[in-house]
Structure 1
Amino acid sequence: MLAACAQQGVLEEPVPLGDFALGLNIVVADNVQKVPISREATVEEWETAMKAAVAARFGRYEGTKLYNIGISVDGYALAPPGIPVVAAPKSVLVITANIWDDAAQKKLNAEGKQFTVFESLSGETIVGSGLTRTKQQQMDALTFNAAKKVEDWLLENPSWFGLTAEEVAAAMKARREAAKQAKSDVPAEEPAPSAVPKPK
């Protein structure tokens, strides 16, 4: 049996995002559509989970201007338990994001940016996370990945936040190198003691 516990993703070090600071964190799920084979999640549950993911990721930035993020939860499928492994569906979340300059009361993107995200692949999700994760764990994983997609999108538009593409590229490179260094600094596990008889 695979372990039933699941972990939400770990936040990477934030990449400098110019003058960005999170203003309003708006999430609406009034018109969310559910795929037929799915666990049930309420509008309130989706709004709460998505707001928490946005706050966790973007609340770390301490710029000098406020930017409002608005997200619509458009559709979802939460893999249910009890489905045979060969037909185990994957959990998925579809959102549309928009961003505003708060002081200028101006929307920065011409059209909403839609993202489709899945749960991160692991030994638990490869057979269908409905067998190994609770509904809340699935929602936490999906909204975590959705917030990361929104962050990546903002980094693709550095001029919104007073940055150049070169500055963002340098920051991304530094983050990748820091992540590699962190992995290499993790001590290796000590080998289990061998069954060698103690000297008499």
Structure 2
Amino acid sequence: MFRIRSAIRVSLVALAAGVFLSACTNSDDLGEPMKDLGQFRLGHDVVVAEKMKKGPLSREATPEQFEEAMKAAVEERFRRYDGSQLYHFGISVEGYMLATPGIPLLFSPKSALIINVTIWDDAAGKKLNEEPHQITVLESFSKTTIMGSGLTLSPEEQMQNLTRNAAKEIQNWMQQNREWFGAKMPEVLAAESKEVAAAKTKAKGDTAPAMVFPEPMAPPSDPS
């Protein structure tokens, strides 16, 4: 456990120093068609944060604030699914960094969040991943964060940004393990059926008409 907590501290220090640079998650997709997660339906989503570590140069946040923000982001993204099989989330907030005001273009720290996730299959009564899956996210890149979110966002807005990105990364991870969640969503099957029907109709329309040859002419009768 000590090694894990030490690793969290090292990761947060590295994030603060800009050592880990990665593409920011785009969580602004809730208005788009839902990604296929088969028969998934969210049961319980338990979020704990009492052991989270604060990174350097970070604003303060309480465990209760992060638990509330993370739970809200999970509910927002996953309560939309209405499959026939229940799955439960266990989420632990491991570390965070809420950027403080910096000097634009010279020192503009980024907000970051580290969580561990475990998914439980309700029917099977077991974990889908034996070891917690760790996710690290940075704040989304936007016109409000380009100069540093410490200058433009409140701590609550920074937490919402990070937890929404974390929920999106949970979804991405679930899609990478799509086989966990059974048959495809009804709307996906319906869309695929329409695509197949349209392809068949197009194939029929593209078929060249059969060539028709004239009947052979009868030989002339003998006039004699």
Tell me the TM-score normalized by structure 2. Answer: 0.67
Could you say which residue in structure 2 is the equivalent of 1:151? 171
Q: How far, CA to CA, are the matches of 1:52 and 1:127 in structure 2?
A: 27
RMSD: 1.7
Equivalent AA in structure 2 for residue 44 of structure 1 = E
Q: Secondary structure at the match of 1:87?
A: coil
Structure 1 stretches (4+) deviating beyond 4 angstroms?
A: none
Equivalent AA in structure 1 for residue 48 of structure 2 = V
Q: Secondary structure at the match of 1:24?
A: strand
Q: How far, CA to CA, are the matches of 1:10 and 1:135 in structure 2?
A: 23
Shift of 1:47: 0.2
Q: Secondary structure at the match of 1:18?
A: coil
Equivalent AA in structure 2 for residue 33 of structure 1 = K
Q: Does 1:140 align with 2:160?
A: yes
Gaps of 5+ in 2: 1-26, 192-224
Equivalent AA in structure 2 for residue 159 of structure 1 = E
Could you say which residue in structure 1 is the equivalent of 2:216? none
Could you say which residue in structure 2 is the equivalent of 1:160? 180
Shift of 1:10: 4.4
Q: Does 1:112 align with 2:112?
A: no
Q: Secondary structure at the match of 1:127?
A: coil
Name which of 93, 96, 103 aligns with 1:84. Answer: 103
Q: Give the number of aligned pairs.
A: 159
Q: Assess if the C-alpha contact under 8 Å between 1:9 and 1:141 holds in 2.
A: no
Q: Percent identity among equivalent residues?
A: 53
Could you say which residue in structure 1 is the equivalent of 2:41? 21
User: Which stretch shifts more, 9-18 or 65-74?
Assistant: 9-18
- Superposed, 1:50-129 pairs within 5 Å as 50-81=70-101, 83-85=102-104, 86-129=106-149
Shift of 1:124: 2.1
Equivalent AA in structure 1 for residue 180 of structure 2 = W
Q: How far, CA to CA, are the matches of 1:145 and 1:128 in structure 2?
A: 17
Q: How far, CA to CA, are the matches of 1:62 and 1:87 in structure 2?
A: 45
Shift of 1:21: 0.3
Q: How far, CA to CA, are the matches of 2:50 and 2:69 in structure 1?
A: 14
